[in-house]
Structure 1
């Protein structure tokens, strides 16, 4: 499946507004060991201020990365935080694209709506859409989390979308689980029994399974300078 996903496209694929050039993307790391994160990581407002400064400094519009990053940000929520270190869910299974609220979110490939849901736990996805893809006999799923509430209006399971077609917009911190605005984009091989939701963060104990079931989204996105991101090349 890894080789299949890698070879679906030879060029980078968009999951947000195509008017934003890939030249305006920049890698970002929010691993726990990043010494630049000298603020309260539990505060969405402080994240927004940090990202605004980051974009101004680098003259970019989208910051991306995060696959297999071990992060401190999830410790603020009981939804992720368990008593033992082994069971604490803090290893990120998707790629985040940090940018402005209301940015268009696009279907990465031809697909149909598998499910959708507003995941309202503190620190959760908020509004979420999952697409099902069937290509050359291979079935897999793409998850789009932290959307706007409007993104879930008038949706129906089975509705088909073409590659690059708008499926929603990004939500702000008031609806997206209390994060600075971003898209959580994740690939899933076996959706199991989930509906409108799927774990986007793993514990050390379950990581081997999730690394296999949730391969690197950059196999499709092919975002620039990916080797600068901790974890992005580990599943190649």
Structure 2
């Protein structure tokens, strides 16, 4: 129904316009959760709420029955939206605003359905810092386009070349994603100074390396011999699916 879609979009506006105090509280409730998947529940909560309200609540109000079909063409958003829908209905009926109880229940529901979301590349690439060997903005744009073929990215920070971006790692949070396709030895030397986990790998070995660094940040490094191999590296990464502590390196074949 068109109206439910309109309500979905209105919910995004309302979420963005909620009082600063409430938004700050929500940020804190998610950030202080001990659940390893809390960050990813936070990344999806805006879309999940809009889906539950528009495709769930509004649809049911208009049709008199709940829509049992898929609500969103994304596994995480669709599943999360369905999971929180009963709670959303409860809060709307009681005219309650979002609170810490809602957030903690939402995190638990997300984690129950996606227990290893914190390792999944699809989630890790949702909000990501991208570092490449691009020499120009056009080169970076081309690489970014290839990345978007494989992953749905809602927020990203891009920087190039790697040698001039390395200092930014000190303050960067979230997923750190590197694409090395030139100056391999020099780039690996710089990265090894930052990530001890990388020191057992050779700079000329094509593949995907992923791990959690000493700050618990997910780090993904694609090592390709040249730019023509980036697409292949991303395909291998997508096939691997997640960070695997017992197999940090996946070769390009």
Common fold by TM > 0.5: no
Q: Given the two structures, how large is their TM-score scaled by the length of structure 1?
A: 0.30
Task: Please state which structure has a larger fraction of its residues in strand.
Answer: 1
Higher RCO structure (Cα 8 Å, ≥6 apart)? 1
Q: Structure 2 length normalisation: TM-score?
A: 0.29
